Amino acid sequence: MNVEISRVIELPTEVVNQIAAGEVVERPAHLLKELVENSLDAKATEIQVDLNDGGRSIRVADNGFGIAADELRLALARHTTSKIRQADDLWNLSSFGFRGEALASISSVSRLRLISRRRQRQQQQQDEEEAGGAMIESHFGQLQEVERINAPAGTSVEVRELFVNVPARLKFLKSPGAEVGAARQGFKALALAHSRVSFFLRVGGNLDLIYGPVDSAIDRARQVLEIQGLRYLEAREGSYKLVASFATPDQVLRTAKGIWLFAQGRWIQDRGVQAAVVEAFRGTLMHGEYPIVTVWLEVPPDEIDVNIHPTKSQVKFQNPSFVFRFVHHALRRELEKSTRGYAAHANSQTSRPRAADPSDADRAVADPAVVENLTFVSPELSSANFQQKSTYVEDRRRASAAKAAAPTWAVHPTPTPAASPQTPSVSPSHWSRLQVLAQSHLTYLLAQSGDELVLIDQHAAHERILFERLMNQWRNGQGERQVLLIPLTLDLSAEKIEALLAQKSEFERLGLTLETCGPTTIGISSLLSFCRESALPPLLDQAASEILEQGGSYSFERHVGDIAARIACHSAIRAGQAISLAEMETLLRQMDEQPFSQYCPHGRPVFVHWPRAEIERQFGRRP
């Protein structure tokens, strides 16, 4: 059998361009991004985008500086750019494009028309502008002659018949609606990143989106996201700057599409930063829910690499652990301010619908002893049996006598860390100002505040109190530690062992003492008393993987929070458990001290409420 020996050849230019196009332009949304970023690099203040044929025909026009007629052919050649001059420029990028591949790649898989007229610098006179303009076309990589035409200052790039000459790429395009949807998402991201630029989007000839220039990122977020009550924050640490907007936790999505991340003005996809955002909302969202957050990061240029992905949608941070903590702590602090106490949440009639509560017993937690021994002022009420209740007046009389003998679970209020100088004063009596009326179904506290009725889930409220108590004990190094007679050993890769040992001091805070037992074996000689030994191997393995992927020791803190939440769930007052009026009032007083007090640690709402006006409408007393 004769085997033909392949020879090494130089690929034709059109093949090289098609290969590059497959990396840079996978779908119309990527094409739109490349063309709009060229307009932004040209300092355009107005950008118009037209989408037709499900995104296979796209036109992007701007009022930027434009391209000189004698540079049009060069603009469609590979590795030609006005953005950089030498290798060192790659580490000080202030432009979005820099490789000089986009136009050449796009022109090889489409019919492209480039029209431009050079605009001189603003300080020069209008009559110094180039007379007229110029146009060049490329038919699937075949350049035509440059023609002189009349055109406004700026540049227009029109792409038609995208991927017609690459059937393998064409067949992987999704439906026209899906491709337009992805392009629309990319258009919104570009608008979010550049608040001072006007953006217009037409789809099928109809005006679809329009965003006029605004003064700030938060104003642009309000424009694009169309969400009422967006919160806003700015934070700095060293040469790092963060600006963010976020919706309150009662406005959520079932996917992570509401998390918009930007670095150096670029829309990025970064697992570490996204994890920091989600982690900041821990305890306010239920499983399967995601926050609506926009984060704009500014990082020193020499501490971020944007040249690691063909579409420049991914970046690499020099210190990902620092970036994670910076984003997480800034969001968490501001979120705590905006959600602390009952009053902060009283703008909605009822809490949003929630997914099923994931707080049932978990195999990773030892069967815990009850953290607080609940004793009731009236022992006969500790039974969950339904029985005739005493009158409200009798309860009030009994409560006044019982206040001197507060329930044991209220004796030790949850310690709270000292307030940060940045934290505004918060009224300490959001919850205790409520007037408790009764207990409903041995599960809910019925109270009133001003002109509304409030129903509070006693289990969820007590769960939050116990959770914060456990977490504060851990943060302050007061968690009870269990020393193992025989150290637990775990076999992992050498890389994972090294990652865990690099964070050894952080694990000590968790009660975990780690020691080397071999090149691929790590030993654990102590752990927190409420953590099962059998839970540690998978937990440490996952922590090591996340440290390697995203940096930092945050992952294990999240697991401690999970364990504390489950212990709090097991230890809190149960549904169907009677408590006295004094205990109800004590519970609410303790809620005043808690961050995120309107949610249990698993994200379930603690209360719902009904304004008096709504009640009167239900009874036909007002229209």
Domain locations in the chain? 13-211, 217-339, 379-473+572-618, 481-569
CATH of domain 481-569: 3.30.1370.100
Q: Is the pLDDT of residue 98 over 50?
A: no
pLDDT grade, residue 289 (50/70/90)? very high
| Domain at 217-339: CATH architecture | 2-Layer Sandwich (3.30)
Q: Are 242 and 327 contacting, i.e. CB atoms less than 8 angstroms apart?
A: yes
- CA-to-CA dists, residue 435 to 171, 263, 345, 381, 583, angstroms: 65, 48, 17, 21, 13
**Residue range 359-391, pLDDT digits in tens:** 433 333 333 333 333 333 333 333 333 233 333
- Per-residue pLDDT at 261 exceeds 90: yes
- Distance between CA atoms of residues 131 and 312, nearest Å: 36
Residue 369's Cβ-count burial label (10 Å; 0-12, 13-18, 19+) is exposed
Task: Please tell me whether residue 196 adopts helix, strand or coil conformation.
Answer: coil
| 478 burial type by CB count under 10 A (0-12 exposed, 13-18 middle, 19+ buried) | exposed
What value does the mean pLDDT of the chain take? Answer: 79
The residues, any chain, with a CB within 8 Å of residue 435's CB and separated by 6 or more, are 447, 448, 449
**Which residues make Cβ contacts (< 8 Å) with residue 536, sequence separation at least 6?**
488, 490, 512, 524, 527
Task: Compute the C-alpha angle 603/609/613, nearest 5°.
Answer: 150
pLDDT of residue 512: 80
- Do 217-339 and 481-569 agree at the fold level? no
Tokens of 485: 């007679």
Helix (H) or strand (E) holding 618: helix 612-618
pTM for the full predicted model:
0.70
Torsion of CA 236, 290, 96, 192, to 10 degrees: -80
pLDDT of 85? 47
- Could you give the 3-state DSSP secondary structure of residue 250? coil
Buried b / exposed e across 78-115, counting CB within 10 Å, b at 16+? beebbebeeeeeeeebebbbbbbbbbbbbbbbbbbbbb
Per-residue confidence band for 225, with pLDDT thresholds at 50, 70 and 90: very high
**CATH architecture of the region 13-211:** 2-Layer Sandwich (3.30)
DSSP H stretches of helix in 382-517: 392-402, 458-475, 494-502, 504-509
Task: Decide if 212 contacts 198 (C-beta within 8 A).
Answer: yes
Architecture (CATH level 2) of domain 379-473+572-618:
2-Layer Sandwich (3.30)
When comparing pLDDT for 67 and 84, which is higher?
Answer: 67
φ and ψ at residue 184, rounded to 5 degrees:
-65, -40
Q: And the tokens for 493? A: 């890769």
Low-confidence winner among 113-122, 264-273, 369-378, 582-591 (lowest mean pLDDT): 369-378
Q: What sign does the dihedral 132-138-139-144 (CA atoms) show? A: positive
